[in-house]
Copies of this chain bind each other. A is one copy, B any other.
């Protein structure tokens, strides 16, 4: 079945990310560590909801064209219960702001979104 492989691609990403973060934390000193803390703090619920913040992070990552960052925020948006319609509207803003150069990333964003949905519906 196809879903096991798809399931794996998300799992593999998370595992690799964790493994590499361990290396960073081994070398990183106070400034690196503070930056990583800051990077998780800015997405915490405040005046804006976590969902809105993750959407902002997603589109910022899209226009800057960073696949790892996009996938990370796609997973987080999924966890925050984003709907297909909300995703599409956010990605279409990114597409228009960032131009056709973002298309390959938009493609992969939807592919990962579909993987996440398939994974859930197979549980």
Contact = CB atoms under 8 A, between A and B. Distances in A.
Which applies to chain A's interface (DSSP): helix, strand, loop or mixed? helix
Q: How many copies does the complex hold?
A: 6
Contact of A31 (B38, B86, B87): B38
Interface residues of A, number: 67
A114 B104 CA distance: 23
A62 B108 CA distance: 20
A32 B107 CA distance: 11
B96 A100 contact: yes
Given A20-B111, A69-B100, A38 B35 contact: yes
7 contacts: A23-B107, A31-B92, A32-B92, A32-B95, A48-B55, A63-B99, A64-B97
